[in-house]
Each structure stands twice: as C-alpha cells, then as structure tokens.
Amino acid sequence: MINTLMLIDDENLFHLVFEDACSLLDMALSIEALDSSDEADSKFKEWFPDDINQERPECVFVDLNIIGSSMDGIEMIRKVNEDYGNGCVIGIISSSEDEEEIEKAKAVGAQFWIIKSDDIEPRLEEFMEDYDGYVNKTNPFKVYR
Amino acid sequence: MIEITEHTRNVLLEVAKKKKIYVEGNFLKLLKAPPGDKEFETYLRICKEKDTANRRKRMDVAKDVQRQNKDLLIAAEENEQLTQDLQVALAEAESAKTEAEKLRDDAMEDLELLQQKTQFELVGTIVRIALGVIVGVGIFTTLMYGLAIITGQDTQIIGSTWSNMFGILLTNAFSIVGTIMGVKYATEK
C-alpha cells in the first residue's frame, strides 16, 4: 500500500472519485488532492532539498491540462524530476490519449500514463500490481488504457 | 498498524452499540484488533463494510454527476453549434431576402419600362393615324378646291370650307403635338 499519494487535478469531482477508488482498492493510506499545479509546485519547493517532516508524497498523479494553473502536467513532472530531486513515483492521469503528449511526458520522466474514464478502478488495480517496479525504477513507462 | 488500549476498545464498542457510530475513513486501515479479540475483529469488519458501502455510494454519485456534467458539456457544445448554424442560416436568409427584393425591384422597373414603351408605341400609332387623317383631309380638300378653280366652278363655298378646314387641321395638329409633348414630359418625370 502507498503511504502518501498526491493527486493534482483541477476537477474537484474527480478528487472524490479518485479518493474513493483508492480507498476501496486499499491503494493508499493518505491522499492529498490539489487542484492546482502551482500549489503543488510550492509544496515541492518547500520539501526540497530537506523534507524535515517527511511530507513529500511517495507517488504523484498529475492531470495533463490543469485549468487555472500556470503549468501543465508535463511541466510539473519535469520540475519534480529535474528541479526537486526526482524522489517519487510520478505520472499522468488524463482523459487524453494524445500520442504526442504521451511521448512528451515520457521524455520528462513520467513513469506511467493512466487514461481517465468512468471506470478508473481496473486501471488503478493494474497500476498497483506494477507499483513496486516503479518504486525501484525497473518498470518501463506504461500507458494504462 | 495501531493496537488500541482496552479502554479505547470498550469506548468504541459502546459507541457503536448505543449510538450506531462507527470508525470510518483511512484511519480504519490503521486499526488492528488485539490477538484473539473476536468481538473487536467483528467490530472492525462492520466498520470496514460500512465505510466501503458509503464510499462506493459516494463514488457512484460522483461518477453520475461527472457523467451528467460531461453530457451537459456536450449538449452545450451542440447548442453552441446549433446557434452558430442558425445564425449562418439567418444571415443567408437575410441575404436571400435582399437578393429577392432586388430582383423584385428590377422586375418592377422592367415592367414599368415595358408599360411606358407600350404607351409610347400606342401614342406613336395614334399620332401617325391622326397626322395621316389630317394630311389626307388637307390634300383631299386642296385637290377639290384646285379642281373647282380649274373647272371654273363656284369656289366661294369650297374656298371658305378649305380655309376653315385648314385652320382647324393646323390647330388640331398643334394640339396633338402639344399633347404628345405633355405626355412625354409627364412620363419622364
């Protein structure tokens, strides 16, 4: 089970769905849902380089297009990986299946891409089966359709 | 995992029994029943079942709302498209109306021109016939007057008749010309 998980998504309704799905799948103990990548950026800035209270999440799910934020999911992943030490499992959760965007995400170090839909649980379940491989960086980039 | 004290265990069981309030949320995942405590194990199982049921219910509602939002968004986009199509159709109808009005005006103008042309042709025919009659009568009277002079007949009556006739014919001729000029001036206006 993941101890701390962060979701960055502008759609508050999806926060509820995601939190409940994670809870039903016993996926995470603690979930922090943010609706802005700027807010997430401030938190990561605060945690880097010394995360004194160990608040930094183990795993981060970022939406691709985050309305009301100055950066999209790909830029957020680039910042986490390049500017804030690349210390967590991170990837995209989006309804988009744009191959160009998927390649961009891969290039900045995203480890997975989960396609958002009404039936998100099977994908999260599959993701959890692969999770250990993402933690020890042995799993290749994967798209969960 | 958290192993709870005897006092906390009893309080939790009491609250569940008397007030039907159960522990819920992710905190539940941290609680562990003391070894062999079947009653608390059952309590934790009930808590988990209730929590799962509540979460599933909430998730289903949230998904429904999400679906409805998506449908509304699609409907709004369709409405927008329809509004745009209507606006285009309205503009086209407006343009067609203007074109039709222009064609109607052109047709009216053509009809008016045709009527005027017919009128002019009629007036022309009348004038030609009238002038023919005038010239004919003039020639005929002059010939009769000439014949009377040549044959030595009495020319008193035919002479005055000729001169009166000529006066009348000239007057009528000028009257016709005046009428024609008047009609032409009026129609040009």
pTM (two decimals):
0.69
> Contact B63/A23, CB-based, under 8 Å?
no
Burial (0-12, 13-18, 19+ Cβ within 10 Å), B72 = exposed
**Hey, is the C-beta of B29 within 8 angstroms of any chain A C-beta?**
yes
CB contacts, 8 Å: B73 with chain A: none
- Annotate B115-180 with DSSP letters as a single string: HHHHHHHHHHHHHHHHHHHHHHHHHHHHHHHHHHHHTT---HHHHHHHHHHHHHHHHHHHHHHHHH
Please report residues of B whose CB lies closer than 8 A to that of A31: 26
Backbone angles phi, psi at B24, to 5 degrees: -140, 170
Average pLDDT, chain B: 88
Burial of A130 (0-12, 13-18, 19+ CB in 10 A): middle
A7 token code pair: 């979701």
- Return the residue of A nearest to B27 by Cα: A29
Confidence of residue B188 (pLDDT cuts 50, 70, 90): low
Tens of pLDDT, residue by residue over A114-138, are: 999 878 999 999 999 999 999 999 9
Across the strands, what pairs with A33? A7
Are B149 and B89 spatial neighbours (Cβ–Cβ below 8 Å)? no
Check residue B133 and give its pLDDT.
85
Distance (Å) of CA B168 to CA A25, A103, B105, B140:
123, 109, 46, 15
Q: What is the pLDDT of residues B37-70, one digit of tens each?
A: 899 999 999 999 999 999 999 999 999 998 999 8
Interface test with B, best of A2, A17, A27 (most B CBs within 10 A): A17
**A101 — pLDDT class (breaks 50, 70, 90):** very high
At B106, the pLDDT band (50, 70, 90 cuts) reads: very high
Note whether A4 and A105 are within 8 A (CB).
no
Q: How large is the ipTM?
A: 0.78
Q: Do A23 and B55 touch (CB under 8 A)?
A: yes
Q: Are strands B31-32 and A2-8 parallel, antiparallel or unpaired?
A: unpaired
Amino acid identity for residue B175 in this structure: S
Residue A136, helix vs strand vs coil: coil
State the pLDDT at residue B114: 92
Average pLDDT over residues A84-91: 89
| pLDDT value at residue B36 | 87
Interface with B, mutate which of A2, A4, A23 (most B CBs under 10 A) = A23
- Contact list in B for residue A13 (CB cut-off 8 A) is 62, 65-66, 69
A-chain residues within 8 Å CB-CB of B52? 24
Residue B127 has pLDDT above 90, yes or no: no
Q: Do A20 and B52 touch (CB under 8 A)?
A: no
Chain A hits for B30, CB-CB cut-off 8 Å, are 29
Q: Is the pLDDT of residue B187 over 70?
A: no
Confidence of residue B28 (pLDDT cuts 50, 70, 90): confident
- Nearest CB among B29, B59, B66 relative to A20 is that of B59
Smallest Cβ–Cβ distance between A29 and the set B26, B51, B59 belongs to: B26
Mean pLDDT of B154-178: 82
**B52 CA to chain A: closest CA distance, Å?**
6
A140 closest CA partner among A110, A104, A101, A96: A110
pLDDT tens-digit profile of A21-76? 999 999 998 999 999 999 999 999 988 888 777 788 999 999 999 999 999 999 99
Q: How far is B41 from chain A (nearest CA, A)?
A: 18
CB A14 within 8 A of CB A29: no
> Cα–Cα distance between A88 and A113 in angstroms, integer?
15
Task: Write out the two tokens for B107.
Answer: 């047709």
Is the pLDDT assigned to residue B5 strictly greater than 90?
no
Structure-token pair, residue A145: 């359709």
Question: What is the pLDDT confidence band of residue B15, given thresholds at 50, 70 and 90?
Answer: very high
Residue B77 has a pLDDT of 96
How much is the average pLDDT of B140-164?
84
| Residue A140, preceding peptide bond in cis (omega within 30° of 0) | no
pLDDT attached to residue B47 = 94
Does B56 contact A23 at a Cβ distance shorter than 8 Å?
no
Q: Residue ranges of the domains in chain B?
A: 2-188
Percent with pLDDT over 90 in chain B: 45
For residue A67, list chain B residues with Cβ-Cβ distance below 8 A.
none
Architecture of domain A2-144: 3-Layer(aba) Sandwich (3.40)
- B52 in A contact zone (CB under 8 Å): yes
